[in-house]
Amino acid sequence: MDTVLDKPIYSKRHISIPQREVELIDKMSSKLMNYYGYTYSQLHRSLVRDEYKRRMELL
C-alpha cells in the first residue's frame, strides 16, 4: 500500500552558471528575493510562471 511518505514530495534540478556570472546572478537573485519576500525556489517558480503566461498570450 502506498502512503504519502512513499512518494517523493519535491523534485530537484540543478543549474549551471558560468563562473564569471555567479556574483552578478547571486546579487540579482538576492535583491529580487528580498523585494518579493521569496526563497530562491519560490522566485524561480514565480519567474517561470510569469514568463510562460506572457509567452502564451502572444501565441
Dump pLDDT digits (tens) for 21-48.
999 999 999 999 999 999 999 999 999 9
Q: Helix, strand, coil % (nearest 5) of the chain?
A: 70, 0, 30
pTM, full prediction: 0.76
Write the CA distances from 46 to 3, 52, 57, integer angstroms: 30, 10, 17
Higher pLDDT, 7 or 36: 36
Around Cβ 3, how many Cβ atoms within 10 Å? 6
